[in-house]
Structure 1
Amino acid sequence: MTDLALDITFGALVLAMLACGWRVLRGPEIADRILALDTLYVNVVALVIVLGMRQRSELLFEAALIVAMLGFVATVALARYLTRGDVIE
């Protein structure tokens, strides 16, 4: 039963990632694209966690943590670049 729930979750996450990818490529404004990219990072973290649960691998949980940290830093850097024109003062 757990395997079926993980498979359904995996499929839903892949669909969400495709929708976010579409918004990144076709977003009407740059702010929409950055928001979609941030949501894509969150979906990737969730996908790696689901894969870790499915494969019973602790290594994937650490990989999800690294992806989450990189996604946060990238979102902050892009937001600062858009608002001020540079990332580091």
Structure 2
Amino acid sequence: MLSWALHITIGMVVLAILLNVYRLLKGPDAPDRVLALDTLYINAIALIILLGIALGTRLYMESALLIAVMGFVGTVALAKYLKRGSVIE
């Protein structure tokens, strides 16, 4: 039962990633693209954690944590760039 639910969940997260990539490429303006990129890394974290559960290893949990930190820094940098025009003052 767990394997069946895990496969369906992985499929749904992959579908969400594909929809995020579509919005990232087709987004009407920059804030929509930044939001799509932010959601994309969150979905990537979910996919990595699900794969870690499916394979029964803890290595994927550490890589998901690393992606979370890098995604947060990237989102802050992009938001600052959109607001002020430069990242470093």
- Which category of TM-score, normalised to the shorter sequence, fits these structures? over 0.9
Matching of residues 1-89 of structure 1 within 5 Å: 1-89=1-89
Shift of 1:14: 0.3
Amino acid aligned to 1:2: L
Identity score, percent: 55
SS at match of 2:86: coil
**CA-atom RMSD in angstroms:** 0.5
Shift of 1:88: 1.6
Q: How far apart in 2 are the matches of 1:70 and 1:3?
A: 30
Q: How far apart in 2 are the matches of 1:67 and 1:60?
A: 11
TM-score by length of structure 2 reads 0.98
Amino acid aligned to 2:75: T
Query: Which consecutive unaligned segments of at least 5 residues does structure 1 have?
Result: none
Shift of 1:79: 0.5
Query: CA-to-partner distance for each residue in 1:15-69, whole Å, 9 max, x for gaps?
Result: 0000000000000011000000000000000000000000001000000000111
Amino acid aligned to 2:74: A
Q: Would you say how many aligned residue pairs link Structure 1 and Structure 2?
A: 89
